[in-house]
Structure 1
Amino acid sequence: MSEPTMGVSGDRPASALPRPQNEAGDAMEIYIRPTADDASVVVADHIEAAIREADGGPVTLGLATGSSPIAAYDELARRHRDEGLSFANVTVFMLDEYVGLSPEHPQSYARFIREHLVEKVDLDTAKVFCPRGDTGDPVAEAARYDAAIKDAGGVDLQLLGVGATGHIGFNEPGTSLASRTHLVTLTPKTIADNSRFFDSKDDVPIHAISQGVGTIREARKLLLIATGENKAEAVRQTIEGGVSARWTSTALQLHEDATIVVDSSAASKLDYLDYYRFIDANRPEKK
């Protein structure tokens, strides 16, 4: 793993449209699948398409951690092994990293991506970048990391998960939708949710370096996966809520190429669920 070189609102307003429109006037693509594994296959399809569309040229992926993308990474590794999907021309920038953890720490995100994807495919480790959580100056590290993404030409496809509080990356409620990569203080809710990965809640770092919402929005394509009933309210807000720093995931509504992939449990609170299913079943062919 290489080092990089380098307004809260209240309740959501009633939606005037059954599906949010982005700045380009196109509706976000929403895929609803029966199970988390089915959703993960759709995510893997989109990532494979981004790689193959580059036709052997360079492609930069932004990758997420947590439990949501693991099955998609497993599917990508299978496609590499069984179908010859190559990652040789892929560069990776991770979304975030805990402050205080070295790249070798069992719960560091640098180690996570090595174990779940990098070591299973033909990714060049010199082209896999993650913020250094063990830096002595996390503010400076955040600025260096943000610059490294720009210097690399930006991200072609950014994979995202979403927290129960609607956070993408570690952009907690109240984070500016124009924010750059920055030092974050995690909420008690996020700390509690992530404690399952540590021996105890006391072991969870309370700070992280995260790409900002503004940084994330500069990716050419955004791809979000959410599974499980505990993500249902966040999914509802992301798709049908008003754009707000209260739910930073609502920033996807402002992007010209955003895709959201959910399982049935995560979709269970959507007001227009039947309509989204109808669209999903009758998706027009893209030119």
Structure 2
Amino acid sequence: MLDYLQVFADWVTYSILGLLQGSPLASSVNFFIYDSIKVTLMLAVIVFGVAIVRTYITPQRVKKWVAGRTEGVGNVVAALLGVPTPFCSCSAVPLFIGFVESGVPLGITFSFLIASPLINEIAVAMLFAMFGWQIALIYIVSGLVIAIIAGIIIGRLHLESEVEEFVYKCKLHDLAEKAMSWKDRLTFAKGESRDITLKVLPYILIGIAIGAIIHGYAPADFLATIAGPNNPLAVPIAVLIGIPLYSNAAGMIPIMEVLTAKGMAMGTALAFMMAVIGLSLPEMIILRKVIKLKLILIFAGIMFVAITMTGYLFNALLG
């Protein structure tokens, strides 16, 4: 199928538009056409499959499954449940309150809150589409490890006093769960696939457009010099640059694809994307509503170290 997509992209670029093969503009346009179609199709299919799984993993069930778990086991369960239960920054506060209200330990709560935005169907689908299943699997495993370890560390620091007092007094009432037939689940999955794909499509197209420009016009050795494997400070610099940015996987992964093609080490690119998605300043600002500044700084520090070490590790493994 991918071969047919490439043939179509070549036909549009060189026959319909009449662009000169090998020129920067032709290279950019060809990249944009091919990746836009490929990523959109794969995203729609994978979101559909994940949506089926999500019909079995409701927020009410997640809280029940993690409540009462011991450290370690609870962190693993919470991180795994975070993968098919994505949330955006705006839903971080009610989720946090709901976990605390249910008696879920703080460290286990953070394992879920880290894994949920960091590892989601959009990130996995786009990484699989652009880099293959090996890189997608590496990202999933590294994200889970970060969520589990960071949650355990936060739990052992006993920072419950750094949660705003009103959180412990909140009483959120869960809505009754509706029994779903297979027809209901398929209908839900079709709707989710359509809605999520259309929702992130602008980010996909913007990210691919930026990536296409870099692909066609940036000098081949530009990033290899400043962010390649030979620069020992490339990973922490990439993480620091990523923190104030606000984007999601849909916008980041197309750019990441071109950055690696231009010479950025894969581990550095993964660390950059993790920082943008899992350590973004907007999310920290929103979480400040329910946790105090000390816990915010500790959380950010742990995440910075974990993401940086992950970048170095995968630079060493992937070369």
TM-score (norm 1): 0.23
- Looking at CA atoms only, which structure, 1 or 2, has the larger radius of gyration? 2
Of structures 1 and 2, the one with the larger relative CO (CA 8 A, separation 6+) is 1
* Bigger fraction of residues in helix: 2
Q: TM-score, normalised by structure 2?
A: 0.22
